[in-house]
Structure 1
Amino acid sequence: MAKALIVFGSTTGNTEGVADDILKILNKNGIPTEVKNAADVSPAGLAEGYDTVIMGCSTWGDEDIELQDDFVDIFDNMEKVGLTGKKVAVFGCGDSSYTHFCGAVDVIEKKAEALGATVIVGSLKIDGDPEASTVEEWAAEVMRMM
Structure 2
Amino acid sequence: PRNVSVLRLDYRQPNAFEECVLDILAGCSFLKGIGATDAVLVGHSFGGAVVVKAGALHPLVRGVASLSPQLYGTRQVEELDRPLLLVHGSADEVLDSEASEDIYRRALDPKRLVIYGDAGHSLGTVAEALDDLLAPWIEARLLGETMESGRTVEWPADAESGGQ
TM-score by length of 2: 0.45
Instruction: Give the structure with the higher percent strand.
Output: 1
Higher relative contact order (CA 8 A, sep 6+): 1
Compute the TM-score of the two structures, normalised by the length of structure 1.
Answer: 0.49
